[in-house]
A and B are shown apart, each in its own frame.
Chain A
């Protein structure tokens, strides 16, 4: 199966990436080429094979529930596009 321009628009919306109509057409061809390439995986028999999420099987570590970081809010917000009074500013979401 291959993607059409509506599929590409849906994926771009999910990914929060704006695509122009011209970009949509080119992207559609490129994504289909890549999906065509990875389609060969479907032919492989993987019955009973455990999926491998990580290269080395280790158990997730836990740490004591105590404060381990210092407050560096000012330093971290210095690199933000728009802040005020310690808050990140974004377009209004509640009218």
Chain B
């Protein structure tokens, strides 16, 4: 029973709940028990509250039938989402004692759908990192090999699903923070088009790039989760007013004639051989499904990482100015005047990578440098976006690796910020362009570590991407595999 439940799809869980084969309380207890048993070795969850979760589950069990597709199913939230009554730390000492007084829109929507909150998930501090090593609460371990990183910044989300501590989780993606950990932990993650999911109550990192999305075992699960997450929100000034969609509507469409664009820039030097070989086999599977591959070019994609490391820190330095020890969060115990209180509070409350990005951002926005850095990067951002719109004249989706390597060992890149930044070399360009991107598991590389295939869609083409991923997952079973040590 429990083995089938921890590996079940959301549709299967929903059916089991509707048929009363299991109650939400039993299902929630099953996952809470797994968290209690396995989390100490993974550090994926940084907060659980059995009573709160079970109260939600009891309410779900008591609700009159029929219920929605996600009703009674537990999920966990990345600790970047304000969750009323829960500690919401964003992985930082700065917010170690912050109990959110309200719900993020995403949290509110999942509550309204009847989902049960299992807890809060570890992450790189303020979502700044690609390995989860910057969390104030300690790094998350990769369930496939606990000596390796889970990726970041949604590393807790990825590890939790991979180890079957939760059937689904929320993530956020500013430069690859859903797709890269999904790839490194062997699961399915989707970053929607910018503006599709509300940013309200999601602690801001780089506002023009941040986007929340679902992380789960399969594309079908992600489609159901996105149905609940997406939608216009007047409380987010960049939320888009669009008609509601059923993102699962095209899952079963055949792929015959699908044009897959392969950017030369994503298959050049810099990608490890094991990742390349695994991705090539996945592309052959797509050809068997009737898709055709087309060579395309994204000539400015090499500029995406440097452009990102102007734009994201600039926006972060502005957003993180709110953490000043006055209205919420940490305040230094000893200080002199007001400026000294700010400076000591921020020196003690932020970790090294966060401070580094605040300083870079402050510099590139400072008097006399704005045009040379921020404005220049925004122009290059336009060039990158135009490359994509040109490419989508020749293809329906774009594919490539999600990460240049499989999960690396702890400490392998943490001493060199620029090397760490390059972990996101294949994911950052879609954030700059605002495009939707996803990663699906497509096999295993060196040391039996998971490899992710990235699927990039045209703006607002999430339903097609989910179809493309789902059809592959009907042919393969990579997405159903779980790490041996986590049984």
Specify whether A and B are partners. Answer: yes
Contact A34 B418 (CB under 8 A): yes
> Are the CB atoms of B326 and A90 closer together than 8 Å?
yes
**Considering the chains assembled together, what is the distance between the CA atoms of A56 and B378 in angstroms?**
13
Instruction: Tell me the minimal C-beta distance from B120 to chain A in angstroms.
Output: 16
Q: Tell me whether B342 and A16 are in contact (CB under 8 A).
A: yes
Is B237's CB under 8 angstroms from A18's CB?
Answer: no
Query: A15-B317, A15-B358 are contacts. A46–B376 as well, Cβ < 8 Å?
Result: yes
Known contacts A8-B359, A33-B418, A46-B379, A90 near B373 by CB under 8 Å: no
What residues of A have a CB within 8 angstroms of the CB of B11 in the complex?
none
Q: Is B29 an interface residue (CB 8 A)?
A: no
CB neighbours (8 Å) of A66 from chain B are: none
User: Are A51 and B382 in contact, with the CB atoms below 8 A?
Assistant: yes
Interface residues of B in 343-395 (CB under 8 A from A): 343-344, 346-347, 350, 355-356, 358-360, 362-363, 366, 372-373, 375-383, 385
Q: Which residues of A contact B355 (CB under 8 A)?
A: 17, 27
Q: Across the interface, do B194 and A56 meet the contact criterion of CB distance under 8 Å?
A: yes
Once the chains bind, are A52 and B381 in contact (CB under 8 Å)? yes
With most chain B CB atoms within 10 A of its CB, the pick from A14, A33, A54, A55 is: A55
Q: Is B327 an interface residue (CB 8 A)?
A: yes
- Could you say which of B300, B331, B343 contacts A16, with CB atoms under 8 Å apart? B343
Cβ 8 A contact of B306, one of A7, A37, A46, A51: A37
Stretch in contact with the other chain, from B51-59, B264-272, B332-340:
B332-340
User: A41-B310, A81-B326 are contacts. A31–B363 as well, Cβ < 8 Å?
Assistant: yes
A58 and B373 in contact (CB under 8 A), knowing A34-B356, A37-B418, A49-B379?
Answer: no
Interface size for A (C-beta < 8 A) is 51
- On chain B, the residues within 8 Å of A40 by CB distance are 303, 306
Name the A residues within 8 Å of B342 (CB-CB): 16
**B193, B327, B359, B434 pick with most chain A CB within 10 angstroms:** B359
Instruction: Looking at the assembled complex, report how far the CB atom of B380 sits from the nearest CB atom of chain A, in whole angstroms.
Output: 6
Q: Is the CB of B375 within 8 A of A51?
A: yes
> Which B residues are in CB contact (< 8 Å) with A90?
326, 338, 341
Closest chain B CB from A3 CB (angstroms): 8
Q: Is B48 located at the chain interface by the 8 A CB criterion? A: no
Q: Are A78 and B347 in contact (CB under 8 A)?
A: no
Which residues on the B side are within 8 Å of A54 (C-beta)? 194, 208, 238, 434
Interface residue B325 (Cβ < 8 Å from any Cβ of A):
yes
- Residues of chain A within 8 A (CB-CB) of B337 are 91-93
**Residues on B with beta carbons closer than 8 Å to the beta carbon of A14:** 362, 366
Let me know if A93 and B338 touch, CB within 8 A: yes
Please determine whether A79 and B234 come into contact, CB atoms closer than 8 angstroms. no
By a CB distance below 8 angstroms, the chain B residues around A5 are none
Interface check A6, CB cutoff 8 A: no
Cβ distance B37 to chain A, nearest Cβ, rounded Å: 32
A36-81 residues with Cβ-Cβ distance < 8 A to B are 37-42, 44, 46, 49-56, 58, 60-61, 63, 72, 75-76, 78-81
CB-contacts of B91-112 with A (<8 A):
97-99, 101-102
Residues of A with C-beta under 8 A to B208: 53-55
Contacts of A44 in B (CB 8 A): 300, 303, 376, 380, 383
- Tell me which of A30, A39, A52 contacts B378 (CB under 8 A): A52
B324 located at the interface, meaning its Cβ lies under 8 Å from any Cβ of chain A in the complex? yes
B240 on interface, CB distance cutoff 8 Å: yes
* Extra pairs beyond A51-B379, A91-B335 (16, CB < 8 Å): A15-B362, A16-B321, A16-B339, A16-B342, A17-B359, A27-B356, A31-B356, A33-B417, A37-B418, A41-B377, A44-B376, A75-B101, A78-B99, A79-B99, A81-B328, A91-B337
Question: 17 A–B contact pairs at CB < 8 A?
Answer: A12-B343, A17-B359, A34-B356, A34-B360, A37-B418, A37-B421, A38-B310, A38-B377, A41-B310, A46-B379, A51-B379, A53-B208, A55-B195, A55-B208, A75-B101, A81-B326, A93-B337
Listed from nearest, the 6 A-B pairs whose CB atoms lie closest are: A55-B434, A51-B378, A81-B331, A46-B379, A18-B347, A52-B382
Interface residues, chain B, CB within 8 Å of chain A? 97-99, 101-102, 193-195, 208-209, 234, 237-238, 240, 300, 303, 305-307, 309-310, 317, 321, 324-331, 335-344, 346-347, 350, 355-356, 358-360, 362-363, 366, 372-373, 375-383, 385, 416-418, 421, 432-435, 459
